[in-house]
Structure 1
Amino acid sequence: MTTAHTMIERRPPSVAHLFLDRVAATPDAEAYRFPAPVDEHAADGAPGAEQWRSLTWAQTAERVKAVAAGLMTIGVEPEDRVALASSTRVEWIIADLGNMCAGAATTTVYPSTNAEETAFILANSASQVLFAENAAQLAKAVAQRDQLPELRTVILFDGTAEPPEAADLEVLTLAELEQRGAEYLAEHPDAIKAAVDALDKEQLATLIYTSGTTGRPKGVRLVHDCWAYEGVAQQQSGLLRSDDVQFMWLPLSHVFGKTLISGQIATGHVMAVDGRVDRIIHNLPVIRPTLMASAPRIFEKVYNGIAGKARAEGGAKYKIFLWAAKVARDYARTAQANRIATGRDSAPFALTLQHALADKLVYAKIRAAFGGRLRGSVSGSAALAPEIGYFFKGAGVPILEGYGLSETSAGSTVNRAEDYRIGTVGLPLPGTEVRIAEDGEILLRGPGVMRGYHNLPEQTEEVLEPDGWFHTGDIGELVEDGYLRITDRKKDVFKTSGGKYVAPTEIEGKFKALCPFVSNILVIGNGRNFCSALIALDEGVIMPWASERGLGGRSYAEVVATPEVRELVDGYVRKVNAELQRWQTIKKFSLLPRDLDVEHGELTPSLKIKRPVVERTYSDAVAEMYAGANEA
């Protein structure tokens, strides 16, 4: 494949090389934007106030080099593991780049990970140093100190460096580490360049532990070449542009967020960094991004919120919204079909007029809520319901669905803004190959593929062929023009007792597109004689609906247990069943007393449902749905 050879010849050995090249090329250009507290003594310094500040590439490099040199002063050597347990913030990026420039390998830890699993990751990776966001992250390491003989130093982003009693740990603040590094660089000014020059492309750069939906997480070994490839591939694909302003709120502990850092360094555009999910809606009109990445759940919540607000306003406004939503989908679906057939978006005159009117009444407000400049939002980590995609495409908010796994450095295929196809995950990045196996499984090969699972040779052999093909565990097909379409997780597809195969995510996606009240849905039916569903509703949408119907003053659990809510959801179940084959239909459902969440272990940090955990947690509800099933 020509592009693969071209990519191999043109990319540098590591992101550290890319970073130093970027700093040399555009030292004074803005690199990062981030929120910071306003000085209370300043004229506008109200307590708790924030303002956005910036770092140029040169300023970023000064801090990154200081971190790298600081790590050298505490004995960190090439490929030593340095863990990072923090939410998404600019210090995460500085620490990660500092690790790479020192030759160390970053072990990523979600800040929401509990103490037991944090200890497993730190121990399994043999991490010697931990960047901890705050005292709470430090406390997890201290609580499991006896399991972490390798860990010797903790560096805090927030708080003061007070070593915990009897923990036998050196604790520094990030500022103290940078100060040590700056002093070291004053005596050894070429230390960082020498360390980066010594990096080999096959040297370990990152251990990302799969947040797996089953079992213990596995450490995915990603070398420097994986990230260098991702950076250049994203740049050459046109996904990222040098004039972009990208809003980064995704967890950087997850491969999806981290791969976009590589692309940003290769491209040199501005990245605004703030991982606080509750600030997304507030930040969008302030940042006015041209690009952002997200999980599908965010778009589902935005759509449900828009629909819920229109419903609350009632009367003509709700009717206008329903009409505009239908026009958006019809227009997007028609325009896409015509692009595939003729090479350009087009729609009949009458539909185009309706779309223009709906734009003035509804869509323009939606675009403004996203900042008014969004040319694309990359969606990944889970399937996007096509009806949600068509709605946003029709409204002028392009959702560019992509595909990849922790084991492939995230970026494998992605839709491009100039020709994206709803219902697909786009085209391969330059240098990545896609093949469909005889049983429908998607196989991937390219420089972004991992070099194996950490200390797990047997599990590595199960998924990685000697010639480089990686078995994804996903089922899919290549459709028109080479676009990839995912149909389901291989392990999620089940067979009913009647011998019929069912792809649950297809049914779940259809339901989410129809029902604006749903938050999460899990379709069940393996070995059973019919399909059922566990359904969690979106509290922010169902509670206002309940209040309007005299159900106010009740808790969420009490509301979802009412006959009124059950009747409401039953109506949407009937609608989705009308679109399904008989053996796919949802015969019974149970409404859950709370939404699924990460804290209870039902969702991974990237918001994938842990199906076995949910079925186990709500086994009584499942048993009740199948009570007397033989007579059903």
Structure 2
Amino acid sequence: MSDTQTLIENRPPSVATVFLERVAATPDKEAYRYPVPPASGAGPDDWKSLSWAQAADRVTAIAAGLIELGVGPEERVALASTTRIEWVLTDLGILCAGAATTTVYPQTNADESAFILADSGSRVLIAEDVEQLAKARQRRTDLPGLAHVVVIDPRGVRDAAPADEPDGWVITLDELQARGAARLEKDPDLIRERVSAITADQLATLIYTSGTTGRPKGVRLPHDCWSYMAKAIAATGLIYPDDVQYLWLPLAHVFGKVLTSGQVEVGHVTAVDGRVDKIIENLPVVQPTYMAAVPRIFEKVYNGVAAKARAGGAAKYKIFQWAAGVAREYAKVTQDTYRRTGRASAPLGLGAKHKIADALVYSKLREAFGGRMRACVSGSAALAPDIGYFFAGAGVHILEGYGLTESSAASFVNPGEAYRTGTVGKPLPGTEVRIAEDGEVLLRGPGIMQGYHGLPDKTAEVLEADGWFHTGDIGELSADGYLRITDRKKDLIKTSGGKYIAPAEAEGQFKAVCPFVSNILVHGADRNFCTALIALDEPSIMDWAKEHGLAGKSYAEVVAAPATVALVDGYVQRLNEGLQRWQAIRKFRLLPRDLDIEHGELTPSLKLKRPVVEREYRHLIDEMYAGAREA
């Protein structure tokens, strides 16, 4: 048995155990950094740190406080908050109490929040602030099982309490920790005893998938899933004890959540701040060595760099376009030579051009990422290969990974220097994969869910008796084990002419071709040609508009302007040059606003909800096919 197999097969029953082991091993080492905004509201944030021992003091106080509230093993504690240090500490506290975390996106409305709280049977809700508390107060009579709400940010909590609210139904996180600390003074071994009693198959997390139709399903992930993930991520060799991770992803999403497990096992520093509008500002301050993100973030950075170059004048933009082409060529050549020889190299001429482009463009890009970024991990959706190659050639290495909520997020990841853009890499140690006859990717291993909460029929649809999980994704495996995801099984388009089309392929290519695009949806099911709905990136297109006689116009007016339509049409024609005839986009419409989470068109991880978008903009789709002869 290899060292890796031993590490994984002899894993502890829970990540709570892994956490206590980490605290014992490196109590004084820095564990977390988090921002404290200035009291005046102006100026830079003050970043504070917690050692592992300091984090443990807060985690065990939270755990003991929950036990004081009557929370028992496997009972659910819901957590509705943005990504912040308290999310991490509270989640660990729930796990160390032997309970289970129900994750709730803070953007979730009151109706769906109430459904999740009721369906999960959550006994306590940890709410970020008065806004999240208000949702629970609004539906309190529908939630008889919800015994308490614990509020992280206490401002205004007592101000709007309804007259009929029971005393003690709402408490602050500080009050919870104080209760827990008092309990630990009397019973110092309480948490260690709770953790030692946790079994591998005990429920640890309920994550509700944001379905495109109907109510979300609760995915049951036991403690063993996170313990396995902690050990398997460490076994990849991709993260080190001296790393600094910048964690901004939503922790209610499985991609963000799994990053906390790997960090506890390896013991490196994590800087936690979920404010997306602060990413650009934070990167030079945090100077991370690795960061995980969704493709939309890399697309925004690429579009922003291109827009900045374009604003600098024709000569500067021409240099950027040349440098981008060199980066892509360099990345493709070096990845190919590494695959064949185990060593990345490029021809002398290409290497010389790359060196010049590095001085002019790439070095500034790396500085924007903090100057120390060794690698980024991209997941949740496919990254357009041309964007991946651009960053790879610029020295910002993006390791694509793959997983689902049902597989605890991290099933595949690209292996460090041997990464291949356009693939999601190889399976994590201990995870099995096979491709079904229809091309569907099947997974089996310790990261797979127990099932959907209270939905045995839905579970049976995707989880076979022998443990194979049907992902719903179509993929291809290379001879040496690299997986490429080609599309969602249910998203494949069959035209009226009988041709199958993977819309994600054309959508990804368009994002690399057009620097103004934010979101694109290709449509064509049961039609005789393909069309597209396109939303433009507001900052980029508005900058362009100022230079082309559209200054002072609103976003909706700019996208409706003939000049804008003509601009985008040029990029659509360029896209079509690389597509088969039946894949080509024959018509398109620009949307009057960008797609977003608030309107339900994107999931919180920024994935497109196709049925929602197609339903909302059905009139534009019908307009594109009006009068067309259907085959």
* 2:221 corresponds to: 222
- TM superposition shift of 1:4: 8.4
* 1:475 corresponds to: 474
- TM superposition shift of 1:364: 0.2
1:51 to 32, 46, 49: 46
AA partner of residue 255 (structure 1): V
- TM superposition shift of 1:50: 2.3
- Secondary structure at 1:499 match in 2: coil
**C-alpha distance in structure 2 between counterparts of 1:528 and 1:235, whole Å:** 48
Which sections of structure 2, spanning at least 5 residues, go unmatched?
none
**C-alpha distance in structure 2 between counterparts of 1:106 and 1:315, whole Å:** 53
* 2:95 corresponds to: 100
AA partner of residue 208 (structure 2): Y
**C-alpha distance in structure 2 between counterparts of 1:3 and 1:554, whole Å:** 63
* 2:503 corresponds to: 504
* 2:6 corresponds to: 6
* 1:36 corresponds to: 36
Q: How does 1:453-602 map to 2 (within 5 A)?
A: 453-602=452-601
- TM superposition shift of 1:338: 1.3
AA partner of residue 252 (structure 1): L
Q: CA offsets per residue over residues 578-630 of structure 1, 9 Å max, x none?
A: 10111101011010000000000000101111101001111110110010121
2:58 to 59, 63, 69: 63
Q: CA offsets per residue over residues 309-348 of structure 1, 9 Å max, x none?
A: 1011112211110100000000001111111122211111
Q: 1:232 to 1:466 in 2, by over 3 A?
A: same
- TM superposition shift of 1:215: 2.5
TM-score for both structures, normalised by structure 2: 0.98
- Secondary structure at 1:491 match in 2: helix
CA contact (8 A) 2:596 2:602 kept: yes
CA contact (8 A) 1:88 1:250 kept: yes
CA contact (8 A) 1:208 1:221 kept: yes
- TM superposition shift of 1:418: 1.8
AA partner of residue 20 (structure 1): L
**C-alpha distance in structure 1 between counterparts of 2:116 and 2:237, whole Å:** 36
* 1:267 corresponds to: 266
Q: How does 1:82-121 map to 2 (within 5 A)?
A: 82-121=77-116
Identity %: 67
- Secondary structure at 1:473 match in 2: strand
* 1:43 corresponds to: none
Q: CA offsets per residue over residues 416-460 of structure 1, 9 Å max, x none?
A: 222100000011111011110111000011100000000000010
1:165 to 163, 166, 183: 163
Task: Please tell me whether residue 351 in structure 1 is matched to residue 350 in structure 2.
Answer: yes
Q: CA offsets per residue over residues 538-580 of structure 1, 9 Å max, x none?
A: 0010001011011011100000001000000000110111101
Q: CA offsets per residue over residues 388-434 of structure 1, 9 Å max, x none?
A: 00000000000110000000000000012221000000111110111
TM-score for both structures, normalised by structure 1: 0.97
**C-alpha distance in structure 1 between counterparts of 2:339 and 2:26, whole Å:** 39
AA partner of residue 13 (structure 1): P
CA contact (8 A) 2:5 2:429 kept: no
* 1:443 corresponds to: 442
CA contact (8 A) 1:3 1:430 kept: no
- Secondary structure at 1:418 match in 2: helix
Q: 1:49 to 1:571 in 2, by over 3 A?
A: closer
**C-alpha distance in structure 2 between counterparts of 1:166 and 1:491, whole Å:** 48
CA contact (8 A) 1:82 1:106 kept: yes
Q: How does 1:332-347 map to 2 (within 5 A)?
A: 332-347=331-346
* 1:156 corresponds to: 151
- TM superposition shift of 1:5: 5.2
Q: 1:351 to 1:49 in 2, by over 3 A?
A: closer
The CA RMSD over aligned residues, in Å, is: 1.4
- TM superposition shift of 1:252: 0.3
Q: How many residues align?
A: 627
Q: 1:306 to 1:8 in 2, by over 3 A?
A: closer
* 1:420 corresponds to: 419
* 1:146 corresponds to: 141
- TM superposition shift of 1:35: 0.3
AA partner of residue 60 (structure 1): A
**C-alpha distance in structure 2 between counterparts of 1:593 and 1:358, whole Å:** 37
CA contact (8 A) 1:7 1:229 kept: no
AA partner of residue 522 (structure 2): V
* 1:289 corresponds to: 288
CA contact (8 A) 1:494 1:502 kept: yes
- After superposing the two structures, state which structure 1 stretch, 326-335 or 2-11, moved more: 2-11
CA contact (8 A) 1:375 1:417 kept: no
Q: CA offsets per residue over residues 76-113 of structure 1, 9 Å max, x none?
A: 00011000000000000110000001011000000011
